[in-house]
């Protein structure tokens, strides 16, 4: 099979498109012929050596994708060759063939394309648990979404609106502000503006009920923009580590800080399937719109990494074998 690999850590130039032996599946795995592969910042971090990678080179990146079942392990039931499958937490996805544990294989409805599935699954499930588990958005809640033009950000905006919230987005440019408005945000402010003040203005001086904080370095400001008794959900550090939080401040203001990690939620095949089904139903019903992805051939993976690192893209980036 062909695969995108690297032998040493470094920039996009270390990526190579080459021939490797086909994977051999275990009894509890299925072999998937990939049709679309999601590219994520975690892939960049692993390529640079910032994330742990098991095994020895050549390394294969990728944890998310969609394709067709080619072979089924002896102990696998309920899955057959020819089935359409999507997954979001199985390694070595940057290849034509991927061995996936059966419990992580999510059935893909016929009316959802491989490209849409690979575009939405990881980020969609993240937005889903953030709005359902970390904090349950209620009608009339005011919601502040950091990086509102990003993949998770646009989905958070849409889900918050779907659940009846008023949404304020934060972005770094006017172009990205347009993307956040297109996703349904009621207001969008730029980071270079005095956005805390603007958030308080549009919430009549009170602050928002809930902040989805993915930047990290803006955590203190997120608390400033939150009402007394409000909640900040911390789920990312794209802009750097946050300053320590004073528990006395939390007590004095009755504010809540909670964390969130998808892998603490996707703990079973049942959880993966049920949550994914709701995502796919929302897409089918037109309640959730998925922006057209940027697509690259798998052999041009280095160019895809360069685009992702430039932070100029507003939609998902896919690799197509």
pLDDT of 61:
96
pLDDT of 52:
75
* pLDDT-based confidence at residue 233 (cuts at 50, 70, 90): very high
pLDDT of 155:
96
Length of the chain counted residue by residue: 321
Q: Exposed, middle or buried: residue 317 (CB in 10 Å: 0-12, 13-18, 19+)?
A: buried
- Domains of the chain with bracketed CATH: 2-120+264-320 (3.90.180.10), 139-259 (3.40.50.720)
Tokens 């308080």 belong to which residue? 200
* pLDDT-based confidence at residue 313 (cuts at 50, 70, 90): confident
Cis bond before residue 39 (omega within 30° of 0): no
* Sequence-distant (≥ 6) Cβ neighbours of residue 113 within 8 angstroms: none
pLDDT of 260:
83
pLDDT for 239 beyond 90: no
Distances (CA, A) of 162 to 34, 206, 212: 32, 23, 16
pLDDT for 8 beyond 80: yes
Angle ∠(19,22,23) on CA atoms, nearest 5: 130
Quickly list H helices, the chain: 41-48, 114-129, 151-162, 174-183, 195-202, 219-224, 247-253, 269-284, 301-310
CA distance 37 to 320: 6
CA distance 181 to 207: 20
Bigger pLDDT: 313 or 57? 57
pLDDT of 238:
82
* pLDDT-based confidence at residue 237 (cuts at 50, 70, 90): confident
Cα pseudo-dihedral 41, 46, 51, 52, rounded to 10 = 150
pLDDT of 119:
95
SS3 content of the chain, % helix, strand, coil (to 5): 35, 25, 40
> Percentage of residues in the chain with pLDDT exceeding 90?
89
pLDDT of 154:
94
Is the CB of residue 2 less than 8 Å from the CB of residue 96? yes
CA distance 151 to 35: 20
- Render pLDDT for 137-168 as a digit per residue (tens, 0 to 9): 999 999 999 999 988 999 999 999 999 999 99
The token pair at 91 is: 């390694």
pLDDT of 84:
98
Mean pLDDT of the chain: 95
pLDDT of 63:
94
Report, as an integer, the average pLDDT of 86-105. 96
The token pair at 169 is: 């987005």
Report, as an integer, the average pLDDT of 227-249. 93
pLDDT for 23 beyond 90: yes
pLDDT of 27:
97
The token pair at 199 is: 């958030």
Output the pTM of the full model: 0.92
Is the CB of residue 244 less than 8 Å from the CB of residue 250? no
pLDDT of 54:
72
């Amino acid at each position: 099979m062909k695969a995108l690999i690297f032998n040493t850590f470094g920039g996009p130039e270390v990526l190579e498109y080459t021939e490797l032996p086909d994977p051999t599946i275990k009894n509890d795995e299925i072999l998937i012929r990939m049709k679309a592969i999601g590219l994520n910042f975690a892939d960049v971090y692993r390529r640079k050596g910032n994330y742990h990678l098991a095994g020895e080179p050549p390394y294969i990146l990728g944890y998310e994708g969609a394709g067709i079942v080619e072979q089924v392990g002896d102990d696998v039931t309920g899955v057959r060759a020819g089935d359409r499958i999507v997954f979001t937490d199985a390694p070595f996805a940057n290849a034509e063939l991927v061995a996936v544990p059966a419990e992580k294989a999510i059935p893909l409805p016929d009316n959802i394309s491989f490209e849409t599935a690979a575009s939405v699954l990881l980020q969609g499930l993240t937005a889903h648990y953030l709005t359902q588990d970390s904090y349950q958005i209620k009608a009339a809640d005011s919601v502040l979404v950091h990086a509102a033009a990003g993949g998770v950000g646009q989905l958070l905006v849409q889900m918050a609106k779907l659940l009846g919230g008023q949404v304020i987005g934060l972005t770094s440019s006017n172009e990205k502000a347009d993307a956040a408005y297109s996703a349904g945000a009621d207001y969008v402010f730029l980071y270079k503006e005095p956005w805390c003040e603007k958030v308080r203005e549009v919430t009549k001086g009170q602050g928002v009920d809930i902040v989805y904080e993915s930047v990290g370095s803006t955590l203190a400001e997120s608390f400033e923009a939150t009402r007394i008794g409000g909640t900040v959900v911390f789920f990312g550090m794209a802009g750097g580590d946050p300053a320590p939080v004073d528990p006395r401040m939390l007590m004095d203001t009755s504010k809540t800080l909670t964390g969130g990690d998808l892998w603490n939620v996707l703990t079973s095949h049942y959880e993966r399937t049920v949550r994914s089904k709701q995502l796919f139903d929302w897409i089918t019903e037109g309640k959730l719109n998925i922006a057209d992805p940027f697509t690259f051939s798998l052999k041009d993976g280095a160019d895809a990494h360069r685009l992702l690192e430039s932070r100029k893209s507003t939609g998902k980036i896919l690799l197509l074998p």
